[in-house]
């Protein structure tokens, strides 16, 4: 065994320069950030942030009757591309209504009467179903 060859190989391996190391880094990036699509998130729009009016996330919506909350659809907190196609709607608008605004990534969600509904969020062909509950104040 050549003494000069092995230390150089292990030094390169410790610096992450072997093909196996690069493959591991690539696999981590795909697993951590996803191969495609977005990671949707809602950010409250307007002054409702400080008030306890309800919860609007991509996991669930819980809102009081008579309350409207503006939400911006983001990609894990970052703004969507300007040409992103975004749509949001309610399975039961008589319980929970969803309306678009002049900004394509901002919607208003409001509780009409107590009950349950499902909100469908679509962004560039990807779709999410969000359970929603409207409660009395």
Q: What is the domain extent for residue 13?
A: 1-35
Please give the pLDDT value at position 42. 66
Residues 119 and 85 in one domain: yes
Please give the pLDDT value at position 37. 59
Residues 110 and 59 in one domain: yes
| Structure-model confidence comparison of residues 47 and 85, the more confident one | 85
Please give the pLDDT value at position 85. 94
pLDDT tens, position by position, 3-33: 444 444 444 444 444 444 434 444 444 444 4
Residues 61 and 126 in one domain: yes
Please give the pLDDT value at position 57. 86
Residues 15 and 70 in one domain: no
Q: How many domains does the chain have?
A: 2
Residues 111 and 55 in one domain: yes
Q: Is the pLDDT of residue 132 over 90?
A: yes
Please give the pLDDT value at position 76. 86
The rounded distance, in Å, linking the Cα atoms of 18 and 22 is 6
Residues 118 and 78 in one domain: yes
Residues 50 and 112 in one domain: yes
Residues 60 and 114 in one domain: yes
Please give the pLDDT value at position 23. 43
Q: Is the pLDDT of residue 35 over 90?
A: no
The rounded distance, in Å, linking the Cα atoms of 69 and 74 is 16
pLDDT tens, position by position, 75-123: 988 999 989 999 999 999 999 999 999 999 999 999 999 999 999 999 9
With 0-12 / 13-18 / 19 or more C-beta atoms within 10 angstroms meaning exposed / middle / buried, residue 133 is middle
Residues 13 and 44 in one domain: no
Please give the pLDDT value at position 18. 47
E strands, 1-125, are: 40-45, 54-56, 61-64, 68-75, 86-90, 96-100, 106-111, 115-123
| Structure-model confidence comparison of residues 39 and 47, the more confident one | 39
Residues 87 and 129 in one domain: yes
Return the residue matching tokens 């039961």: 92
Residues 25 and 44 in one domain: no
Residues 93 and 116 in one domain: yes
* CATH code of the domain covering residue 113: 2.60.40.1080
């Amino acid at each position: 065994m050549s003494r000069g060859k092995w230390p150089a190989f292990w030094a390169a391996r410790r610096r992450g320069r072997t093909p196996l190391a690069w493959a591991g880094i690539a696999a981590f990036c795909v697993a951590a950030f996803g191969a495609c699509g977005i990671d949707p998130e809602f950010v409250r729009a307007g002054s409702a942030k400080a008030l306890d009016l309800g919860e609007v996330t991509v996991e669930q919506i819980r809102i009081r009757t008579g309350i409207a909350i503006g939400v911006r659809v983001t990609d894990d907190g970052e703004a969507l591309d300007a040409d992103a196609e975004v749509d949001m709607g309610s399975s039961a608008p008589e319980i929970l209504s969803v309306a678009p605004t002049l900004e394509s990534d901002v919607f208003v969600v409001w509780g009409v009467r107590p009950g349950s509904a499902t909100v469908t969020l679509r962004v560039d062909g990807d779709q999410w179903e969000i359970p929603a509950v409207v409660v009395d104040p």
